[in-house]
Amino acid sequence: GGCRERTVQKQGQAGEQAAADPLEALSAKIGKDSTDASLFQERARLYLDRHDPNAALGDLRRAIELNPDQSGLYVTLADAYMQIGKIPSCLEALQKAEKLDPANNEALLKMAEVYLVLQDYTATYSYVKKSLDLDTRNPKAYFIRGYALMETGDTAAAVRNIQNALDQDQNYYEAA
C-alpha cells in the first residue's frame, strides 16, 4: 500500500505544477473561450517574457482579429516585433496604437525609445513631449529625454532630466 500512495502523491504534485504554469493555465482558458482577445494578449506577453516572439505574434494576430480597435494590443505587437528586430513593423504597430488612442502613454514612450535607438532625436523629443503633456511626473519620459540630450552633447540638460527622473521616482532603475 505504501508504494501506491507515494505514486498517487507524486502524480498529484506533478498535476499541481502543471496547473501552476501560467502558460498552460492560459491555454486552458483560451480552449474554453477563444473569443476573448485579452486572454490572447496575456498569453502573448508570457511568450515574450520567455523570449518566444513568434508564438506571441500568432496570439497577437488572433487578438487583433477579435478586437482590432484596442490600442494596447498594438503596443504588445510592437514589443514582439522589437524582440525579432523588425523595427519598421514595430513603429507601424506603435503608430496604430497612437492613432487608436492618442493618450496611450506607453505607446508614446515606446515610440520615443525606438526613435532614440534610431538616433532620430527630433522624433524622440516630440514623443517625449506628447508623453509629458499627458503626465508631467513620468520618470521614463525624463530619462529618455535625458539620454537623447546626452547623445547630442547637451550634458547639463541631460543631467537635469535624469535628475528629474529620479526626483519623480527615487527607485527609477534606468536612471541610476
What cell numbers appear for 129 in the block? Answer: 513631449
For residues 101 and 69, the answer to whether their CB atoms sit within 8 Å is no
Kindly tell me the burial class for residue 55, based on how many C-beta atoms sit within 10 Å of its own C-beta (0-12, 13-18, 19 or more).
middle
Q: Render pLDDT for 108-155 as a digit per residue (tens, 0 to 9).
A: 999 999 999 999 999 999 999 999 999 999 999 999 999 999 999 999
How many beta carbons lie within 10 A of that of residue 39, not counting itself?
A: 21
Residue type, 25: A
Report how far residue 1's alpha carbon sits from residue 95's, in angstroms, rounded to the nearest whole number. Answer: 65
* Longest Cα–Cα distance in the chain: 77
Phi, psi of 107 (to 5 degrees): -65, -45
What cell numbers appear for 104 in the block? Answer: 496611450
Q: Render pLDDT for 43-98 as a digit per residue (tens, 0 to 9).
A: 999 999 999 999 999 999 999 999 999 999 999 999 999 999 999 999 999 999 99
